[in-house]
Amino acid sequence: MNLSKIVFGIAFLFLCVTLTAEAQGEEEAFYLGEVVVTATKSEYLLKDVPVETLVITREEIEKSNATNIMELLKWLPGIKSVGRYRPMGRDEYSINGLPSDYALILIDGQRVRGRHILTELPINMIERIEIVKGPNSVLYGSDAISGVINIITKPAPETATLKSTVAFTSYSSDIGKVSLGYRTGKLKYILGGNVNKIKGETEESEYENSNVMGKFEYDLTEKTKLKFGLGFYHEKPKYSETDKTNYSLGLDWDVNEHSSLKAGGYIWKYNDESYPGGGPDVIEEDSQVAQGELQYSHLFFLGEKDFLVTVGLESLYEEMDRTGFPARKSQTANSLFAQSEMNILESLTFVPALRWDSHSEWGEKVNPKISLLWKINESTRLRTSWGQAFKAPTFKDMYRLTYHPVGPTGFWIKGNPDLKPETSVGYRVGLERQFAKNFLATLAFFRNDVEDMIQGYWVKMFEFPPPFPVIGEYSYRNIGKVFTQGLEVELKRYFTDKILSTLSYTYTDTEDKETHKELDDVPKHRANLGIGYYDKENGLMVKLRGEYEGEAYYTDTGTGIREKIEGYFITHIRLSKAVTEHAKLFVHAENVFDDRSEQVGGGRLITGGATLSFP
């Protein structure tokens, strides 16, 4: 099916819902007053933010009874997410057809990395999740090519709070989460913890993690706040073990009615041990990332018009030592960014931004971005953005030297110190329209062009032909140009104040311009549909969802053979019931009909548990 036919079909669907949507009372069914910050590093109501932003709110998180973030992301248009607990596996989250490495994950605006970032974070500690798709290097630097996922944790509360969740699964997994907060005088804090013991269908997919994190806020004055955060994380998949710690310190100062100043910094430390292929040899890694930032914003007035100018300075330091590295490696990046948010007309907001980076390894780089919001009328908004982004090679891409004892002879993974940074140009055009207060529709077109994409390849395959065995060698190279493009549509409608239906569809077209083949593991068609019943008065939630993924290509890294994998459709059911004012029970059935298609990644999974919360 070509893109023009799909565009016509979606446009026709929009016309149909415009004509058939009916009023459903005076109260707004969809709340667009959530305050978001990721798109511009300044506060906006969701309906007014000039850069397209998706938000998973605290209410949606609590309604879902999700046990981790991956369960939440998979239902958003344009995002494919799946947790891989097999040896050396990781959380995978593709945005608009680009792999996980092209999306930047932030926790409260801080860079973070690891195998299972989105699985290990205590979901009880999350206030909301903001997703900004498309190139965002202008505000966040390297890696923000396909988008930014910013996980914003709960603020320290004004009164005492306590929340605890326990859950068990049909694979004998145990999940426990707890959070508590309190205020005393000018000091308030919130602490959270998480323990997961996951057992998959096989022994190879066993996974454990535990962590503790905390946030502390102290009111120096009415306009000045001091913030401190810390976290300790431990995870143990099969054949590896990782410890991470982080500390952060920040100061927020509302200088006056029109000016604000933010200063802060953080450090993340990582220690990792892995046993490739389950062999006896251990690979040890010791690394850290530290960043400091200063940001100043001022609201200017020009006649009856106003515009908010934000400037920022950043300094980033990274270092890593790893078994097989020729020496301990380090690099620095110093950056300056500027952004202006201009209300040209009452209905038109224009946001130009520019970033300059000076990198110790890659020299200087300039990345621009422009965004535009047009409020066509009270219920219709058009957003468009264009920008450039870049992604620097990792230390492991360049310097790793690891032997994997698998197959007949095993193979080496060797880094390539001659790799170049990847660069991209991308744009998005999105239309959002609310029909008669009970029907919300969004439509978006996207395109990403990536140059010098880094991709793994076999220098030579491992073989065992008599009489001489051949030990394989795997490395990395810049492959030239790649593009992803397509469209997303999402429809939400309340049939009553208790029944919500949703439908999302994503079409993604990709191509490696060197081989003229589609990118691996990117289905052209993905769709999610669901219907939910929410009765707040009686504390009852029932949700039925269907998940469709079309066929895709996959290349076996062990053999180099490329094959087509068939698509699938699976069904999920979720149910929860409040049994007291402070307690509720929940049960999930994922992949209800036990589809064993290759892309599904596992059979039926039943999860049951309970949540206690005070107040």
Cα 212 to its chain centre, rounded Å, is: 21
- Which of 33-37, 109-113, 162-166, 201-205 is the most confident on average? 162-166
Kindly indicate the confidence band of residue 11, based on its pLDDT and cuts at 50, 70 and 90. very low
The yes-or-no verdict on residue 9 having pLDDT over 80 is no
Does the pLDDT of residue 48 top 70, yes or no? yes
CATH code of the domain covering residue 89: 2.40.170.20
Q: What band does 563 get if pLDDT is binned at 50, 70 and 90?
A: confident
pLDDT in tens, 286-302: 999 999 999 999 999 88
Task: Give the closest residue to 191 by CA, choosing from 205, 179, 206, 174.
Answer: 179
- Cβ 242 vs Cβ 235: under 8 Å: yes
Per-residue confidence (pLDDT) for residue 209, from 0 to 100: 86
Q: How far apart are the first and last CA of the chain?
A: 53
Domain that holds residue 10: 3-614
- DSSP H helices in 382-491: 395-399
pLDDT digits (tens, 9 = 90+) for 472-486: 788 999 988 999 999
Rounded to an integer, what distance in angstroms lies between the CA atom of residue 545 and that of residue 63?
Answer: 14
pLDDT digits (tens, 9 = 90+) for 508-534: 999 998 888 898 889 999 999 999 999
Q: Where are the beta strands (DSSP E) in 513-551?
A: 525-535, 540-549
With 0-12 / 13-18 / 19 or more C-beta atoms within 10 angstroms meaning exposed / middle / buried, residue 8 is exposed
| Segments of 11-53 assigned E as strands | 35-36, 44-45
Question: Does pLDDT of 464 surpass 70?
Answer: no
Q: How far is CA 374 from the centre of its chain?
A: 27
Contact yes or no for 133/446 (Cβ under 8 A)? yes
Residue with the two structure tokens 């023009």: 4
pLDDT at 4: 44
Q: How far apart (Å, rounded) are the C-alpha atoms in residues 424 and 387? A: 8
d(CA 471, CA 276): 15
Going by C-beta distance under 8 Å and a sequence separation of 6 or more, which residues neighbour residue 435?
A: 17, 18, 21, 379, 441
What are residue 427's phi and psi, to 5 degrees?
-145, 155
Q: How many CB atoms lie within 10 A of CB 205?
A: 20
Residue 27 has pLDDT above 70, yes or no: no
Residue 36 confidence (pLDDT) above 50: yes
Query: Which pLDDT value is given to residue 62?
Result: 87
Tell which residue, 14, 31, 149, 43, has the closest CA to residue 431.
14
Q: At 91, list the tokens.
A: 């959380």
Cα 16 to Cα 439: distance, rounded to the nearest angstrom: 12
Residue 2 has pLDDT above 80, yes or no: no
Look at residue 139 and give its three-state secondary structure: helix
Highest averaged pLDDT of the listed ranges 208-217, 341-350, 423-432:
423-432
| 522 Cβ neighbours under 8 A, 6+ residues apart | 94, 97, 484, 508, 510, 552
Q: What is the mean pLDDT of the chain?
A: 87
- pLDDT, tens digit (0-9, with 9 covering 90-100), for 308-342: 999 999 999 999 999 999 999 999 999 999 999 99
Amino acid present at 390: F
1 pLDDT above the threshold of 70: no
The pLDDT of residue 234: 92
Q: Is the pLDDT at 375 greater than 90, yes or no?
A: yes
What are the CB-based long-range contacts (under 8 Å, 24+) for 173-176? 173/197, 173/198, 173/199, 175/67, 175/607, 175/609
List the one residue out of 101, 131, 107 whose CA is nearest residue 34. Answer: 131
Give CA–CA dist 331/505, Å, rounded: 41
Highest mean pLDDT among 99-103, 138-142, 366-370: 366-370
Lowest mean pLDDT among 22-26, 174-178, 516-520: 22-26
List, in sequence order, the alpha helices (H) in 36-136.
58-64, 70-73, 117-120
Count of Cβ atoms closer than 10 Å to residue 280 Cβ: 7
Q: What gap in Å lies between CA 540 and CA 586, rounded to an integer? A: 10
Q: Which residue has the higher pLDDT, 148 or 120?
A: 148
Instruction: Answer yes or no: are the C-beta atoms of 265 and 293 closer than 8 Å.
Output: yes
Q: Average pLDDT of 71-97?
A: 80
pLDDT number for residue 560:
67
If one counts the domains in the chain, the total is 1
Neighbouring C-alpha atoms within 13 Å toward the C-beta of 184: 4
Where does the pLDDT of residue 599 fall: very low under 50, low under 70, confident under 90, or very high at 90 and above? confident
